[in-house]
Amino acid sequence: MPLTRVSIVIPDSVTVIEEGAFADCAGLRDVALPRGLTELSGVTYENGGIFKGCTQLRTITIPPAVTVIGRYTFLSCAVLEEITFEGNTKIEQDAFKNCGNIRRIHAGPGVTRIEELDLIPVYRRIFQDCPGEQAKLKAAQTAFMEKYGGQ
């Protein structure tokens, strides 16, 4: 019988989570990432994302020490709706591909920079197939251009 609700607390001693660690864990709903985590390792192919296909994962908080979220990490997490970043984290291309339910992205107090001008051309690829985020990007671009476009 498949598990219908799984919660995981990853020990504080873990600093890197490698590709495919929780791939296709359809019952995974809650993950507590350790404060000392520094990397969610990326892959070069779609089948190896750490949380790929975790179709019940609704929220994720990225701890402040995480410096990179690798490619395809959250691929096809169809109900992922809320992401909180607690620090300055590089998000690689396609990290949230096919996450069409994202509604809220929070930047915690540890976030000191957002590289808008560098992020705008890449943003569509990071959140590919996430219509809610695409609409937010368009609104942000319009506001930015209205404020700074003529200078």
- The domains of the chain, with CATH numbers, are 6-148 (3.80.10.10)
Rg of the chain over all Cα atoms, to the nearest angstrom: 16
Q: Positive or negative CA dihedral for 122, 127, 128, 134?
A: negative
pTM: 0.74
* Percent of the chain whose pLDDT exceeds 90: 27
Q: What does the mean pLDDT of the chain come to?
A: 77
pLDDT value at residue 120: 47
The string of pLDDT tens digits covering residues 83-94 is 888 888 888 878
